[in-house]
Amino acid sequence: MEAVEGNGGGSGLVVTELSHIKELVKQLDVHLGGSPGLCKHLAQQIFAVTEKSIGIIRSGHFNCPKRSAAGAGLDSPPLSATPSPVSGVSNTPFKPNKKRKTSEKGRHQIRVSSAGGGADAPADDGHSWRKYGQKDILGAHHPRAYYRCTYQKTQGCAATKQVQRADEDPALFDVIYHGEHTCLHKTAAAMVQPDGQNQDAQSLLQNLSSSLTVKTEGLIAAGTQGWSTTTPFSFSSPAVSGMTPPEHHPFSAPSTPENCFVSMPTSLEPSPATSGSNHMCFNPFQAQSELQTMVSALVEATSMPPADTEEAGFAYWSFDDSALDVNSFDEDVTNFDISAFLASDV
DNA sequence: AGGATTTGACCCAC
DNA sequence: GTGGGTCAAATCCT
């Protein structure tokens, strides 16, 4: 999507981003006409939360006072001026200048765990990628791999991504996405869907989920504090969850409704990890993660056999007005673990 | 055999 | 000239 280029526009970018989310959810809501009520309900919830987030930003809460410089982990760039973190180790200011500026737009960077993705690759993100290059990067301990969408030729999908193992923690990968998927390929989750119902919703949700990818480019100036070298921001698309072994994968798919569980930090309220501090701090990364999680849950829900969802009643989600908590009634569940922003320094 | 990956060469922004 | 990104032939895998 059209991320505002440049750094200074951190909040503006988030507003833009969230506005887009809002639009997508609107569409989703329309598409879900004949789908399980839960999906619709969740879509409405996401919509409400998105609006709330935008409201918070606009009301001036969008600024976190300080941050621990530990963020160097994900090459969190200096807050000051320039977007453009690329490779990871530097503490020195990055210039916004990189080769091939053409793809600066629509750039998303996330850190993913290797869990569920094998030792040499991060967890599957739900898209089909074809590796087209690998390069040793100056100053980095690990080479950077270049991927493009498998459907680039057949569908003209221009999405690419770069994957590089984090220097400080080989179990983590920095993934930079360029461009958006325009391909219409079926996700794994969609393919395992028994009756093909909700495929429109699935598609929309995938789009939405993709849109919610944590974007550091341009947000860096405002939100990088959230990153730290130790933040295991584990993420993988639920789109493939149905085919992924559920065990311990951070986003592993709950195979049954009983296993549905999402735990997340709450960006819209004081972080429990920050004792004492009670003032609100909106962390755009965190909010996006939360929204992403919610959408993931929604995608998960739509990929479940209707019978199961009906049986279970699907009362797993509780959305608090003040907190974006999504809870499970089951205590022993697979945990959707997003811990990246727990230590958000408020 | 066809598709995916590897890898050295090339291109291009600085 | 340097280094990141891409190309494309060679190789590997299924």
Give the residue from A150, A147, A141 showing the smallest Cα distance to A172: A141
Q: Give the Cβ contact number of residue A279 at 10 Å.
A: 9
Per-residue flag: A86 CB under 7 A of strand C: yes
Length A131 CA → C11 C1' (Å): 15
* This prediction's pTM: 0.42
Length A131 CA → C12 C1' (Å): 14
> Which residue's alpha carbon is at the shortest distance from the C1' of C8?
A132
What pLDDT, on a 0 to 100 scale, did the predictor assign at position A146? 93
What pLDDT, on a 0 to 100 scale, did the predictor assign at position A158? 81
Cβ-proximal residues to A147 (8 Å cutoff; 6+ apart), any chain? A129, A130, A131, A132, A160, A161, A162, A163
d(CA A7, CA A14): 11
Length A146 CA → B7 C1' (Å): 13
Q: Give the Cβ contact number of residue A211 at 10 Å.
A: 21
Give the residue from A241, A228, A259 showing the smallest Cα distance to A333: A259
Cβ-proximal residues to A299 (8 Å cutoff; 6+ apart), any chain? A189, A202, A205, A206, A209, A237, A238, A239
Using a 7 Å cut-off to protein CB atoms, list the covered nucleotides of chain C: 3-8
d(CA A204, CA A181): 12
Using a 7 Å cut-off to protein CB atoms, list the covered nucleotides of chain B: 4-9, 12-14
Nucleotide nearest residue A178, measured CA to C1': C5
What pLDDT, on a 0 to 100 scale, did the predictor assign at position A131? 92
Cβ-proximal residues to A283 (8 Å cutoff; 6+ apart), any chain? A64, A223, A225, A226, A267, A341, A344
Give the dihedral sign, CA A112/A116/A119/A125.
negative
d(CA A272, CA A276): 9
Q: What is the CA radius of gyration of chain A?
A: 19
Length A116 CA → B3 C1' (Å): 24
Pairing of strands A336-337, A262-263: parallel
Per-residue flag: A138 CB under 7 A of strand C: yes
Q: What is the phi/psi pair of residue A94, to 5°?
A: -95, 145
Strand, coil or helix: what is A159? coil
Residue-by-residue pLDDT tens, chain A, 346 positions: 433 333 334 455 555 556 666 666 666 666 665 555 655 665 666 665 555 555 555 544 444 333 333 333 333 333 333 333 333 333 333 333 334 444 455 777 777 766 555 556 666 777 888 999 999 988 888 889 999 988 887 777 888 889 888 877 777 888 888 887 777 654 443 344 434 444 445 545 555 554 444 444 444 333 333 343 333 333 333 333 333 333 333 333 333 333 333 333 333 333 333 333 333 334 444 455 556 555 555 555 554 443 333 333 222 232 333 333 333 333 333 333 332 332 233 3
Token pair 């179990």: residue? A171
Length A51 CA → B8 C1' (Å): 51
Q: Are A139 and A90 in contact (CB under 8 A)?
A: yes
Q: Give the Cβ contact number of residue A121 at 10 Å.
A: 17
